[in-house]
Structure 1
Amino acid sequence: MAVHEVFLVLAMAMVVSAIDTNWYDAHATFYGDMSGGETMQGACGYGDLFKQGYGLQTAALSTALFNDGLTCGACFEIYCTNTPQWCIPKAGSITITATNFCPPNYTPNKPDAWCNPPRKHFDLSMPMFTKIAYYKAGIVPIRYRRVLCYKRGGVKFEIKGNPYFTLVTIYNVGGAGDVNAVKIKGSKTQWIDMTRNWGQNWQTGTVLTGQNLSFQITLSDGKTLEFDNAAPDGWQFGQTYDGIKNF
């Protein structure tokens, strides 16, 4: 097998591993109320989910799915199954984006520690839960699968930090949705590998002030997209810049 063929096979394997059309069993609960106010912030670092375009179509994932934050931004299709008394008839499925972490509860003899490893669990906003199941159910068995994310507008880069430490939150990503690697380049530098701070916050200690900034992001399916001059040389900390392109 030729070298380029090996690379092709590996790339195809990465795609399969990131976007899996198979259905898997899990459970779902909900948190908050119908207003969805509790969906703000979270372990992915996205902040105001309404302002950032995620809205209520979100979920917190258990340890088995969260992947230490690397699954942030991934999209899942979910439907309620095998409980006619709790599943809403002909409700169909919902699609959500992973935006938070459902922490485990290791309290002894805790029967409802649904987010403990190795359980696969989705903690949905109440409005999303009640699209597929009755409120009184509390918890229901579901089936889920990974799907492509479809987002309006471009990929967003929110820049925070100080002149000696640049932290970039990346959100509104289409395609596989979950960013697994990031590079940044100033107009006076080469490409620099960023390291993940937490969730989808990526950092570098290279001084980049006064330079326009370009980004390369690589998703879990191996696709890489480049955003040249996404932030102008007069960019400011605390501002968000639009990468325009999306998958």
Structure 2
Amino acid sequence: METGSRRSCSSPAAGRLQTGLRAAFFIVSLRWIVLPATNAQSAWEVTEWTTGARATFYGGSDASGTYGGACGYGDIFAKGYGVQTTALSSALFNNGYTCGACFQLRCDSSNCYAGSSITVTATNYCPQGSFGGWCDSPQRHFDLSFPMFASLAPTVVGVIPVQYRRVSCSRTGGVRFMITGNPYWILVLIYNVAGQGDVRSADIEGTNTGWIQMNRNWGQNWQSDGPKELVGQTLSFRVSLGLGGQSKTFPAAAPASWQFGQTFEANGGLNFT
């Protein structure tokens, strides 16, 4: 089975940091009063503006090169994420559990556009061992799509200090479930998740079964190893998010006629808030 891509970094161009470089630490802002992350919060959990990160970019000016990725979304345009995406360093990626979460970033540098800020979804991983160790733990780094970086600063800058915080994700329509696998092994990609966005647990239920706990395979792909009994049954899902632990049930999300390779949207556009 194909697994998520792990992006690698290229070496810097002479005289400046190369675009696409995975950066690391953060310069404290002099413009805003910023609350630092507390010891009780992990890097990916902060909801107040916090220091300690940098941003670079990768891919083309149209965000080409950002498809695929370690979160399992594949074609991020078809999935509704567009160009508003980022890859995360290890400290933020949380072994893939942060996939789907939304972050707001703002820049504090004379090289940035005054008052600029962006909101992006985590869709990829900036790997350990990248050039210069920019994405190694405990560095906090956002490797943005080209258009998102260009919204904060001229791309010739290459790397900028940013402040960041977790924010609620805004999505169109309901949570979506893409079902792949075979009668003996089922894999469900859960995406288009609003609210906190990062799925931490998932259960599946057939018409004639109880709830079956699913295990995270990679990114936001969740698997059940005993799906033979689920074939030909209407499927419901129960999904819990990470930050705040909000949980919601999506009844009869897939009809009894479902087939592997199909995607289903929650009835009535049901989603998190």
State how far apart, in whole Å, the 1-side matches of 2:65 and 2:152 are.
Answer: 20
Identity, in percent, stands at 52
- Maintained 8 Å contact 1:28/1:121: yes
After the TM superposition, which of the residue ranges 20-29 and 33-42 deviates more from structure 2?
20-29
State how far apart, in whole Å, the 1-side matches of 2:246 and 2:82 are.
Answer: 26
Detail structure 1 runs of 4+ shifted over 6 Å in the superposition.
none
Q: Does 1:20 align with 2:47?
A: yes
Aligned counterpart, 1:53: 80
What is the aligned counterpart of 2:163 among 140, 143, 163?
Answer: 143
- Summarize the alignment of residues 219-238 of structure 1 with structure 2, pairs less than 5 Å apart: 219-220=241-242, 221-238=244-261
Change in CA separation of 1:70 and 1:157 when aligned onto 2, cut-off 3 Å: same
Report the alpha carbon displacement of residue 114 of structure 1 after superposing the two structures with TM.
Answer: 1.2
Aligned counterpart, 2:127: 103
What is the aligned counterpart of 1:152 among 166, 172, 175?
Answer: 172
Q: Does 1:245 align with 2:270?
A: yes
State how far apart, in whole Å, the 1-side matches of 2:258 and 2:195 are.
Answer: 27
Aligned counterpart, 1:88: 113
Q: Does 1:72 align with 2:93?
A: no
What is the aligned counterpart of 1:189 among 209, 227, 234?
Answer: 209
Q: Please, what TM-score do these two structures have when normalized by structure 2?
A: 0.80
What is the aligned counterpart of 2:235 among 213, 221, 225?
Answer: 213
- Maintained 8 Å contact 2:81/2:121: yes
State how far apart, in whole Å, the 1-side matches of 2:199 and 2:257 are.
Answer: 26
Aligned counterpart, 1:62: 89
Q: Does 1:128 align with 2:155?
A: no
Report the alpha carbon displacement of residue 194 of structure 1 after superposing the two structures with TM.
Answer: 0.2
Tell me which of the two structures has the higher relative contact order, counting C-alpha pairs closer than 8 angstroms and 6 or more residues apart.
Answer: 1
Aligned counterpart, 2:15: none
- The alignment's C-alpha RMSD in Å is 1.6
> Unaligned 5+ residue runs, structure 1?
1-12
- Summarize the alignment of residues 141-180 of structure 1 with structure 2, pairs less than 5 Å apart: 141-180=161-200
> Unaligned 5+ residue runs, structure 2?
1-39
How many residue pairs match? The answer is: 226
Report the alpha carbon displacement of residue 23 of structure 1 after superposing the two structures with TM.
Answer: 2.3
Aligned counterpart, 1:6: none
Aligned counterpart, 2:34: none
State how far apart, in whole Å, the 2-side matches of 1:24 and 1:209 are.
Answer: 49
Counterpart of 2:252, as a letter, is N
Q: Please, what TM-score do these two structures have when normalized by structure 1?
A: 0.88
Secondary structure of residue in 1 paired with 2:251: strand
